[in-house]
């Protein structure tokens, strides 16, 4: 109906997608023997699902989602101004407050503006910030003579499409997310293109399969050109607006392993980067403690699993098992303490003691992806012979 995978069934989510994981979900269904009663039903399902997967993929190759002329993609939301789901919070006022308190780290996200603009001032703000006449959230986003810029809001919306809300990796409060060709996103799209190649081949669509193979190879070359740094042995996101690579290591540098885009040599170099993120409790998102939930020292089930599965796929089984033991151990300790499963954990402490100072502060109880990853990791651990009792490596790059 909508041509994309939405955050939820709400109209204000129509301007952005979820990260491109639909083809991987389809592959999981196709690979499960319990999914279909027979081969004919499996083939019929794939024939119906394949064009929907193609339609979902095409979101990421539209002009707005392209990272300049790099041949790579970026996160981008088609909306403007503040998101409506922030209407009952002081989130954006908190961003302004932080920027005013950290002027040296403000990339230009603020614009001087009155709290109660007249018609002429409101018209100007529509271009430089947001439309105060149509958005109550926008009208309230003011503090000490400042409002947030229109470009900040574009970055904020792109950050939400990435799922990493809130992080400081793509600028403070994620406000420059749309300026980056991200390693994570483009690794997911490489995997998506390879999946579409396999689907087309299975359906006898030879020409289409060749098209997807060529698209994947072109993306791999662009990833190597803009994101791979052989001198560092790691992938780094690329700011295509400024024409420079990020200097801030992020856990998504392991997505090329899960996506299958890395060579064996690149994978071996990447495995040596685990020390930047590895703690008692598993892999933290970054090497900087910013107070945001998608930065250090916090870790999440899906990003830990993507790193673990990628390591396993490239033959780094001991690393995959060790991290799985750490992350499941964190969940075990936390569950023993309060009998809950949480959405995120403190990797440095190896428990659910999560104190967020920037952005969303709740550590939600549930939690679907933690439950699923826990089971997958336990299966991996059992297949690899259990958890060894060895000294726990400390994250070499962490700043606390």
Confidence of residue 396 (pLDDT cuts 50, 70, 90): low
Other C-beta atoms within 10 Å of 56: how many? 20
What is the C-alpha to C-alpha distance for residues 217 and 228, in angstroms, rounded to an integer? 15
Is the domain of 278 the same as that of 168? Answer: no
13 in a structural domain: no
78 in a structural domain: no
Tell me the per-residue pLDDT of 55-79, one tens digit each, with 9 for 90 and over: 999 999 999 999 999 999 999 999 9
213 in a structural domain: no
Last residue of a domain, one of 158, 173, 188: 173
- Domain count for the chain: 2
Last residue of a domain, one of 141, 173, 205: 173
Instruction: Find the helix or strand (DSSP H, E) in which 16 lies.
Output: none
229 in a structural domain: no
375 in a structural domain: yes
Residue 288 CA to its chain's centroid (Å): 17
316 in a structural domain: yes
Mean pLDDT of 224-252: 99
Residue 152, pLDDT above cutoff 60: yes
What is the C-alpha to C-alpha distance for residues 291 and 396, in angstroms, rounded to an integer? 19
pLDDT at residue 241, rounded to an integer: 98
Residue 391, pLDDT above cutoff 50: no
Tell me the per-residue pLDDT of 96-144, one tens digit each, with 9 for 90 and over: 999 999 999 999 999 999 999 999 999 999 999 999 999 999 999 999 9
What is the C-alpha to C-alpha distance for residues 92 and 98, in angstroms, rounded to an integer? 10
**For the residues of 285-315, what is the DSSP string, one character each?**
SBSBB-SBTTSBTEEEHHHHHHHHHHHHHTT
Any idea what the Cα angle at residue 148 is, between residues 144 and 153, rounded to 5°?
160
Check: CB of residue 394 under 8 Å from CB of residue 325: no
DSSP state of 94: H
Tell me the per-residue pLDDT of 163-220, one tens digit each, with 9 for 90 and over: 999 999 999 999 999 999 999 999 999 999 999 999 999 999 999 999 999 999 999 9
Last residue of a domain, one of 173, 200, 217: 173
346 in a structural domain: yes
In terms of residue numbers, what domain contains 130? Answer: 84-173
């Amino acid at each position: 109906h909508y041509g994309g995978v939405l955050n939820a069934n709400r109209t204000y989510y129509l301007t952005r997608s979820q990260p491109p994981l639909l083809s991987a979900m389809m592959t999981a269904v196709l690979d499960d023997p319990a999914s279909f009663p027979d081969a004919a039903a499996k083939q019929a399902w794939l024939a119906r699902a394949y064009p929907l997967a193609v339609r979902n993929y095409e979101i990421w190759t539209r002009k707005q989602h392209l990272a300049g002329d790099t041949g790579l993609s970026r996160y981008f939301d088609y909306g403007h101004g503040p998101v409506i789901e922030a209407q009952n919070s002081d989130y954006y006022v908190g961003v302004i407050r932080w920027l005013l308190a950290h002027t040296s780290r403000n990339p230009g996200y603020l614009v001087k503006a009155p709290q109660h603009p007249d018609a002429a001032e409101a018209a100007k703000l529509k271009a430089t910030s947001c439309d105060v006449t149509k958005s109550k959230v926008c009208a309230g986003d003011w503090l000490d003579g400042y409002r947030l810029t229109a470009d900040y809001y574009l970055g904020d919306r792109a950050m939400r499409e990435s799922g990493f809300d809130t992080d400081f990796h793509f600028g403070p409060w994620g406000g420059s997310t749309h300026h980056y060709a991200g390693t994570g996103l483009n690794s997911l799209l490489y995997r998506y293109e390879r999946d579409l190649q396999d689907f087309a081949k299975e359906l006898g669509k030879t020409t289409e399969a060749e098209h997807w193979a060529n698209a994947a190879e072109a993306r791999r070359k662009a990833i190597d050109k803009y994101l791979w740094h052989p001198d560092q042995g790691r992938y780094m996101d690329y700011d295509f607006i400024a024409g420079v690579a990020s200097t801030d290591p992020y856990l998504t540098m392991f997505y090329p392993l899960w996506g299958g885009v890395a060579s064996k040599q690149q994978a071996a170099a990447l495995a040596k980067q685990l020390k930047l993120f590895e703690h008692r409790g598993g892999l933290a998102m970054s090497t900087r403690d910013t107070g945001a939930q998608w930065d250090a020292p916090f870790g999440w089930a899906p990003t830990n699993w993507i790193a673990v599965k990628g390591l396993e796929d490239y033959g780094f089984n001991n690393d995959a098992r060790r991290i799985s033991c750490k992350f499941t151990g964190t969940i075990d300790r936390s569950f023993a303490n309060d009998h809950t499963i949480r959405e995120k954990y403190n990797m440095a402490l190896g428990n659910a003691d999560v104190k967020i100072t920037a952005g969303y502060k709740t550590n939600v109880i549930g939690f679907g992806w933690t439950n699923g990853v826990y089971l997958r990791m336990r299966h991996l651990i059992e297949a690899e012979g259990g958890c060894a009792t060895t000294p726990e490596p400390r994250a070499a790059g962490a700043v606390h």
